[in-house]
Structure 1
Amino acid sequence: MSAGAKAGVQAPLIFLAALAAGISYVVSWAVPLPDWAAIAWKGAGVGLLATWASRQGTSADHRLLATVLVLGATADMVLEIHFIAGAAIFALGHVVAIALYLRNRRAGVGLKDVALGAAFVAGTVALAFALASPDWAPPVAFYTLFLAAMAACAMMSRFPLAAAGALLFVLSDLLIFARMGLIANVGWADLAVWATYFAGQALIAWGVAKALGGPGLDSGAARH
């Protein structure tokens, strides 16, 4: 079996392993584990998505996608050690994602789309500022500027599934900010945060890779 054929066989298995790791992570909350094991489990889902994405092609866009996911997995784990450092890594990932989406703008994007994107960014930043606790509101708003810009660029890209994933990512972070006060004592908050976040990352990975084309993906898109 050729290397390309092996990659085609292994790719779906890696994606399924990523889904299994990400979905099962919630089990770790009820299991007594060493800190390192819980942190590794948290990063495994998006880390495996990054591994899967890296096998989908060698173009600049494929590499950008893999980099976004590697930074996401790293941030997932660093957040458990140092919250600000983890958020900074996520912000860097958003910058890389913005570059990816701007390289792949959908046909027909015009000034109206840019204006709507700017309004989305402004509204999301304002909402994040309002949801966060007073002490955290300024840095939360600053971070959300990167997050919302990423989502706005995704919505103007040729990756509709990734755009849906980016919006879920935004929702997840808004829930985190609301958890600082508004829903601080709500039992479902932690599950909702993780579910929307991981679903968002999976949609971003699949949506971009499917459009770019890769092993095991039935895509009519031209490869770069």
Structure 2
Amino acid sequence: MAGETAALAGAIVLGVLYWVGWCWREDGGLPGLIVKTGSTALLALFAYLVGGPWLLVTGLALSSAGDAFLAMDKPGEDKWLKPGMAAFFLAHVAYVALFWALPQAERNLLNLTAQIGLVLGGVVFVRWLAPSLGPMRIPVFAYTAIILVMGAAALRLQPPFLLVTLGAVMFVASDMILSLQLFTRPPGAAKRMAPSLAVWGLYFFGQALIAWGGVYPFLADAN
């Protein structure tokens, strides 16, 4: 288990390092790109080394690719935004397939209400955001649709996968804040520290919960 432990510990160290040292900067440069991408790449490596579901490994690896694309944009540029969104879109497709394959809880009023609330809230939010999207409207609508499906699927998981559910909801919250940063910030305005810290904190630790929560119940059963 030494390799798995090292991968998880390395991911957390890099994730925290990026959180405190780079996520709020306009341009993290090559060091920021390496630290950011490495944190989620190590989560994918951890899931692979412990024998996690291949869809989990795929989702984490695609997320790492998305991180790399977004980190390559310089201030005022967005030429890597669409490739980054595409990578994350495919990551969510993998997560949706994974969550549907995991044990589902019985349909009840609580999880149904949570799913409806998440989807309706997301639709209202993106409808409010639409006038600010410009040519990105269609890509953002498509991305919003898949991440809401991902979140709704996570809300139906059985209690042993509660960490996965929590991580998925954190991922959705992170993307909502990020969309405000990307599409409602006045041109030329500097990144604000508090939203930037919230975006990365929710995103990275949400991914860590998905990675750990996606493999821990199987490891517990094996022991």
TM bracket (short chain): 0.7 to 0.9
Alignment of 1:90-169 (within 5 A): 90-109=88-107, 113=111, 116-131=114-129, 133-135=132-134, 136-158=136-158, 159-169=161-171
TM-score (norm 1): 0.81
Matched residue, 2:184: 181
1:120 to partner: Cα distance: 2.2
Change (3 A) 1:186 1:79: closer
Residues 126 and 141, structure 1, Cα contact 8 Å, conserved in 2: no
Residues 3 and 49, structure 2, Cα contact 8 Å, conserved in 1: no
- Note the residue ranges of structure 1 that are not aligned, 5 or more in a row: 1-7, 214-218
Change (3 A) 1:84 1:75: same
Q: For 1:193, what is the secondary structure of its paired residue?
A: helix
Change (3 A) 1:130 1:139: farther
Q: Does 1:36 align with 2:30?
A: yes
Matched residue, 1:216: none
The aligned amino acid for 2:168 is A
The aligned amino acid for 1:139 is P
- Counterpart among 3, 19, 25 of residue 18 in structure 2: 25
CA distance in 1, matches of 2:23, 2:118: 34
Q: State percent identity of aligned pairs.
A: 31
Q: For 1:139, what is the secondary structure of its paired residue?
A: helix
1:38 to partner: Cα distance: 2.5
1:36 to partner: Cα distance: 3.4
- Counterpart among 198, 202, 209 of residue 215 in structure 2: 209
The aligned amino acid for 1:150 is M
1:119 to partner: Cα distance: 4.8
CA distance in 1, matches of 2:46, 2:167: 17
Matched residue, 1:77: 68
Residues 129 and 141, structure 1, Cα contact 8 Å, conserved in 2: no
The aligned amino acid for 2:197 is L
The aligned amino acid for 2:2 is V
Q: For 1:80, what is the secondary structure of its paired residue?
A: helix
The aligned amino acid for 2:170 is L
Residues 169 and 201, structure 1, Cα contact 8 Å, conserved in 2: yes
CA distance in 1, matches of 2:164, 2:129: 25
The aligned amino acid for 1:23 is V
The aligned amino acid for 1:161 is L
- 1:186-223 Cα shifts (integer Å, max 9, x gaps): 4311111111110110010011111222xxxxx1x369
CA distance in 2, matches of 1:88, 1:100: 18
Residues 151 and 172, structure 2, Cα contact 8 Å, conserved in 1: yes
1:141 to partner: Cα distance: 2.5
C-alpha RMSD of matched pairs (Å):
2.8
- Note the residue ranges of structure 2 that are not aligned, 5 or more in a row: 73-79
Alignment of 1:33-72 (within 5 A): 35-57=29-51, 62-72=53-63
Higher helix proportion, which one? 2
